[in-house]
Structure 1
Amino acid sequence: MNFVSLGFVVKWGRPKRKERSCMKPVYHISPDHGFLNNPNGLAQFRGEFHVFYQWLPEVTPQGKKQWRHCVSKDLLHWTDQGSTLEPVQWYEKDGCYSGSGLAAGGQYYLFYTGNVRDAEGGRESYQCAAVSRDGRRFVKLGPVVLKPEAYTPHFRDPKVWRKGDHWWMLVGAQTRELKGNAALFRSDDLLHWDRVGSVLGPGLEMGYMCECPDLVEVDGQEFLLVSRQSEQGTVPLVLPGRMDYSRGRFETKGPAALLDEGLDFYAPQTFVDESGRCLLFGWLGSGEKDYQLSQPPVREGWLHSLSIPRELFVRGGALCQRPAEELKQLRRQEQRTECAGAAVIDRGTASLELSAEGLGSQAVTFDFGSVLKLCYRPESRTMQVMRKKWNGEGYDEKHLSLARLDALRIYLDQSTAELFVNHGETTFTCKAYFGADTRIHIVSQENIRVSTWILEVS
């Protein structure tokens, strides 16, 4: 068994890591080695939080994916359980792809996609199940859903939940017309499933594939989450609306919006914990293969992390996100600063939380070690975000449309940045390799209040 305090793993039978990498996250889930991507199988079972993620032992986005498993009692301290699902059966021989988890009848169920390729490069996919009584040892039950003729073999990422008297499953799909959609299935026993319909009606399909579909109900409102693949790239989207379970059709009540505005956020998945919170983890990754493999941690034999756990809530009819309350337990050595004009804060670490309030409608700039820069311009109602490129030559930029900037809450963790703007109405997530310069330069027109905390996992 391996033991992990989030980013740092100690393995029995292996020498202990002598020096922690300056790029390794302190409080994010990340692998000790290999390639991490989509969060999978999220649930709280018998008081413990379970997070699985797609994993490969080598640093490459292509290969026979496994499910790595970690467990926590508090969302802060994680114990690595090793690989739980490995591609050893005929129906999954080329990878155990993404899926979901849930607790039912005193057991923990996992649903995932078995990927199978033939000698000519063709693909088949099977929606499979596994079950456990203790949350540690899982027995595979084999395929429970076969692909309907309406879809191509790009048919994956089952998400299962309970509503009314039935179990429901969403599966990401590509139609025969090569358009992105999702299929809804119904079951009475979690093992036998009937197709109900395609959730996106004519003209509402998205790109050429909808990955990792998820239906969430928060504060009495429903939202469909999809990770869209298109010629323009991959993005996580959210649609407000209502699921018509009788027809298997999601009736939208507005346009799709980005779930996260950042450069490196994809494949989010939610679950409802035992207190009723809807929590979300996302993959702090994505992008083309060359973009991913050009990142500095590849030289150390690991790549990517998951986001911090986020709680979903609704404000003004829109789905919003805030850091899970448990993260406040990581705070150490609060420092409060009144900034007017120019100020410099240096906490000596790039694993910290920053909270800024009283921003009003003024122009303000935050510069984190010249690696990440935020600049709000009230005259254009935009916030410019600049992230230094891996090779140090220039910046990747994005402009967020913001009518106002009331508050910022920022989580940095050595090589990650998660921004919660205006109390979670907008989020921006990206990789940012901060290095030795831990200074924060702030420029404002008027007085603003800034609090910072060093974040540590003890």
Structure 2
Amino acid sequence: MNQHELIEKASREVAQNKNTVESDPYRLQFHIMPPVGLLNDPNGFIQFEGVYHLFYQWNPFETSHGSKFWGHYTSTDLINWEMKPIALAPSEWFEKNGCYSGSAVEHEGKMVLFYTGNVKDENDNRETYQCMAISDDGITFEKKGPVIHLPEGYTAHFRDPKVWKKDDTWYMVLGAQSVDEQGKVVLYSSSDLKTWNFHGDITGSEMNGLGSFGYMWECPDMFELDGKDVMLVSPQGLEPEGDLYQNLFQAGYFVGKLSYDTPFYKHGTFTELDRGFDFYAPQTTVDEKGRRLLFAWMGITDENEKYQPTIKKGWIHAMTLPRVLSLKGEQVYQQPVEELQQMRKDEVSYDDVQIRTIDVTLKGIEGTSLELLLEEIQCENGSFEIRFRGDARFIFSEKEQKMSLYRKSFKDGSLESRHCQIDEINKLQIFLDTSSVEIFVNDGAEVFTARYYPEVENESITFSADTMVHFQLKKWNLEHSKLNKGK
């Protein structure tokens, strides 16, 4: 099919499934979701002519990972999003099995997309091409075809171009797998976005003192924060180490310095960006306010993905809330963008909550789409728990200096958990949506993100403690976003 025919087919799929999808009680109220089918990686995140554009990997025809399109939403406020026409459909020879992840830049008043064209032959052998598409208005794109072909020394797992400009030169990092199956990040440079010079690996498994560190590094993103070069990356193939690396695939960051002359990226240790169950393939941009903003896929590909209950209604997965990044020392902090405060309504406030028993409820502290803010938390050498709608639990143990998030498995209802060490907790900012939770700890020093599926009618939030716990508490119901009102 040509691009027009594929887009028409996808549009029919959206229309035919609209009522079924929107009848799902687990549809989120203020997160980006697919109109039908499967959503995964955020792509091409950019503010262009004052408007935020977020593209996303999308399979409109199934709730599994098939041939990917680039879906497209725009926003002027990072809250209300409007669905735009499909930006890229896999119609050409160089992308016939999927327009895979990539990024966007502005050049000479135009929006330029870079993405990976995925190709498989009848024997399932893979080819990969880094492709370019250009738009005058940020809505309609003209494909220019491949600008980078696979270099020697790498397998066809070579993808996810992220492009930025420094001084007068454009740079691109790509996730890669070397022929000896080690995950790498490679660097290219260009003066015109068309002709690209290959500079080889700048970091990866068996480099920078890492030792063996995954068989494939996906979705790299390089940017500067507070005078240091931060690289986000999603390595595949890390073995669990205690509380670390418990998801099938990880997403995290390095802090260091990129030598553009060598080129080589010297960096410190790898740190996970999120301690929860559902966070992968983060991508950032800088907006007109100078903020480094991040979206991530609030999902992951693993053996339990197929058991998510929304599949029965024809859709799966969502984006995280947009976050602002900052750097304190060698630690990346994530905080929800301040625009989200515009969604707040019906404030309930408690000046001095004291908990010293189990299952305490507070009047007005319940709901399905809300924000909780706990400040000046004092926990006297014991443990403190918040239970969300009877299904998810966040626990902090001061004695063990550990915090934990528990939820029921999608597959069999068993209890599963994620953990993180922390000395103390003094602030929690929690966003609950109908089937998600995002917990920002100590102004975003740590974050837990997860999907969960409580009983629809259960709106309870309870507090428990085995010692005296004090905190100030505010709660707001949150307005539905424009996208989630179906308008």
TM-score normalised by length of structure 1: 0.94
What residue is the counterpart of 1:6 in the other structure? none
- Asked if the contact 1:384/1:400 (under 8 Å) is kept, the reply is yes
Is the counterpart of residue 454 in structure 1 residue 477 in structure 2?
A: yes
Is the counterpart of residue 325 in structure 1 residue 338 in structure 2?
A: yes
* CA-to-aligned-CA distance 1:6-25 (integer Å, 9 cap, x gap): xxxx9779876796422011
1:371 to 388, 391, 400: 391
1:388 to 379, 387, 408: 408
Segments of structure 2 that go 5 or more residues without pairing to the other structure are 1-12, 240-247, 482-487
Segments of structure 1 that go 5 or more residues without pairing to the other structure are 1-9
* CA-to-aligned-CA distance 1:239-267 (integer Å, 9 cap, x gap): 11011111221101x21110111111100
* CA-to-aligned-CA distance 1:119-138 (integer Å, 9 cap, x gap): 12111100000000001100
Is the counterpart of residue 221 in structure 1 residue 216 in structure 2?
A: no
CA distance in structure 2 between the partners assigned to 1:371 and 1:145 by the alignment: 48
Is the counterpart of residue 404 in structure 1 residue 417 in structure 2?
A: no
Change (3 A) 1:231 1:18: closer
- Asked if the contact 1:236/1:266 (under 8 Å) is kept, the reply is yes
What residue is the counterpart of 1:167 in the other structure? 170
Letter in 1 for 2:55: F
CA distance in structure 1 between the partners assigned to 2:15 and 2:127 by the alignment: 38
Is the counterpart of residue 295 in structure 1 residue 295 in structure 2?
A: no
Is the counterpart of residue 193 in structure 1 residue 196 in structure 2?
A: yes
- Asked if the contact 2:87/2:140 (under 8 Å) is kept, the reply is yes
Q: CA RMSD in A?
A: 1.9
Point out the structure with the larger strand share: 1
Deviation at 1:349, TM superposition (A): 2.6
Is the counterpart of residue 101 in structure 1 residue 121 in structure 2?
A: no
- Asked if the contact 1:347/1:454 (under 8 Å) is kept, the reply is no
- Asked if the contact 2:276/2:405 (under 8 Å) is kept, the reply is no
CA distance in structure 2 between the partners assigned to 1:309 and 1:18 by the alignment: 23
Is the counterpart of residue 433 in structure 1 residue 453 in structure 2?
A: yes
SS of alignment partner, residue 84 of structure 2: strand
Change (3 A) 1:280 1:103: same
Change (3 A) 1:389 1:332: same
Change (3 A) 1:369 1:457: closer
What residue is the counterpart of 1:36 in the other structure? 39
What residue is the counterpart of 1:304 in the other structure? 317
- Asked if the contact 1:76/1:457 (under 8 Å) is kept, the reply is no
- Asked if the contact 2:14/2:60 (under 8 Å) is kept, the reply is no
Is the counterpart of residue 353 in structure 1 residue 371 in structure 2?
A: yes
What residue is the counterpart of 1:260 in the other structure? 274
Is the counterpart of residue 117 in structure 1 residue 120 in structure 2?
A: yes
CA distance in structure 2 between the partners assigned to 1:349 and 1:299 by the alignment: 24
SS of alignment partner, residue 433 of structure 1: coil
Deviation at 1:447, TM superposition (A): 2.2
What residue is the counterpart of 1:273 in the other structure? 287
What residue is the counterpart of 1:211 in the other structure? 218
Change (3 A) 1:19 1:244: closer
CA distance in structure 1 between the partners assigned to 2:331 and 2:34 by the alignment: 33
Deviation at 1:102, TM superposition (A): 1.3
Deviation at 1:287, TM superposition (A): 3.0
CA distance in structure 1 between the partners assigned to 2:433 and 2:115 by the alignment: 30
- Asked if the contact 1:150/1:175 (under 8 Å) is kept, the reply is yes
Change (3 A) 1:248 1:197: farther
**Mapping 1:73-152, distance limit 5 Å:** 73-152=76-155
- Asked if the contact 1:197/1:249 (under 8 Å) is kept, the reply is no
TM-score normalised by length of structure 2: 0.88
Larger CA deviation: 360-369 vs 304-313: 360-369
Letter in 2 for 1:438: E
Deviation at 1:387, TM superposition (A): 0.9
Change (3 A) 1:248 1:61: farther
1:443 to 447, 464, 476: 464
Deviation at 1:317, TM superposition (A): 2.8
CA distance in structure 1 between the partners assigned to 2:389 and 2:48 by the alignment: 41
CA distance in structure 2 between the partners assigned to 1:422 and 1:334 by the alignment: 22
1:285 to 291, 294, 299: 299
SS of alignment partner, residue 171 of structure 2: strand
Deviation at 1:357, TM superposition (A): 1.0
Change (3 A) 1:30 1:192: same
- Asked if the contact 1:56/1:66 (under 8 Å) is kept, the reply is yes
SS of alignment partner, residue 339 of structure 1: strand
SS of alignment partner, residue 86 of structure 1: coil
SS of alignment partner, residue 74 of structure 1: coil
* CA-to-aligned-CA distance 1:318-359 (integer Å, 9 cap, x gap): 111000111101111111124212531455531111111111
1:344 to 349, 356, 361: 361
CA distance in structure 2 between the partners assigned to 1:275 and 1:432 by the alignment: 34
SS of alignment partner, residue 321 of structure 1: strand
Change (3 A) 1:347 1:32: farther
CA distance in structure 2 between the partners assigned to 1:19 and 1:447 by the alignment: 41
Change (3 A) 1:240 1:15: closer
What residue is the counterpart of 1:334 in the other structure? 347
Larger CA deviation: 176-185 vs 345-354: 345-354
What residue is the counterpart of 1:7 in the other structure? none
CA distance in structure 1 between the partners assigned to 2:95 and 2:354 by the alignment: 59
Identity of aligned residues (%): 38
Deviation at 1:391, TM superposition (A): 5.3
Change (3 A) 1:59 1:344: farther
Letter in 2 for 1:238: Y
SS of alignment partner, residue 378 of structure 2: coil
Larger CA deviation: 338-347 vs 366-375: 338-347
Deviation at 1:197, TM superposition (A): 2.3
- Asked if the contact 2:378/2:469 (under 8 Å) is kept, the reply is no
